[in-house]
């Protein structure tokens, strides 16, 4: 499952087509991320600058996580994922949050999504073996949901809440961003 060769600039082993992204992948990842947001839009639209900032931040601060790309032909990437590190006191170690996962339609159904998750679990793609792997999926995304169930993911019985904006100078009222 693990291949020893990596393209120049990429560190760590690749896992059947998945490898760590390099700066040369940035423009392609922006396109793939935009395609994901067209196909499966989230509540907050993303723009190219935001995506490039994420890529730069993960490169500069690798303890935050890493970006991986699906590169089956050693050419243009046909998929990407952000693997975000989160230290859990409850679970006693580092959780890998697969923050975004997208594979081009033509490359789907060939096991790449499955291998991405397996590569994360084994530590080959995340750089360490995580205590757990987490991801978010919209209930309407039934195909992805059935894949995740098959891989062993189960819902966490808690609510995820979000507070956006900043606290103003009086230290109390959040302002929307």
Query: Which residues are 80's β-sheet partners?
Result: 69, 102
Helices 26-39 and 48-60 meet at what angle, rounded to 10? 130
Tell me whether strands 65-70 and 14-15 are parallel, antiparallel or unpaired: unpaired
CB of 17 to ligand COA, least distance (A): 10
Tokens read off for 111: 């096991």
Residue span binding ligand COA (CB under 6 A) among the ranges 6-14, 35-43, 47-55, 155-163: 35-43
Q: Does 84 bind ligand COA (CB under 6 A)?
A: no
Determine the residue with CB nearest ligand COA.
113
**What x-and-dash track marks residues 101-130 binding ligand COA by CB under 6 A?**
xxx----xxxxxxx----------------
Sign of CA dihedral 77, 54, 88, 20: positive
| Residues lying near ligand COA in the complex (CB under 6 A) | 36, 39-40, 101-103, 108-114, 135, 137, 141, 143-144, 146-147, 150
């Amino acid at each position: 499952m693990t291949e020893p060769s990596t393209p120049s600039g990429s560190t760590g082993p690749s896992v059947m087509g998945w490898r760590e992204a390099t700066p040369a992948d940035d423009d392609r990842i922006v396109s793939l991320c935009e395609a994901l947001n067209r196909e499966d839009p989230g509540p907050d639209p993303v723009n190219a600058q935001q995506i490039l900032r994420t890529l730069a931040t993960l490169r500069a601060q690798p303890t935050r996580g890493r970006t991986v790309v699906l590169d089956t032909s050693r050419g243009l990437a046909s998929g990407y994922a952000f693997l975000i590190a989160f230290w859990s006191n409850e679970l006693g170690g580092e959780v890998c949050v697969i923050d975004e996962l997208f594979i081009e339609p033509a490359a789907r159904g060939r096991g790449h999504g499955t291998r991405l998750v397996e590569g994360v679990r084994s530590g080959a793609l995340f750089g360490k073996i995580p205590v757990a792997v987490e991801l978010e999926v919209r209930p309407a995304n039934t195909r992805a949901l059935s894949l995740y169930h098959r891989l062993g993911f189960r819902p966490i019985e808690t609510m995820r809440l979000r507070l956006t904006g900043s606290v103003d100078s009086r230290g109390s009222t959040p302002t929307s961003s």
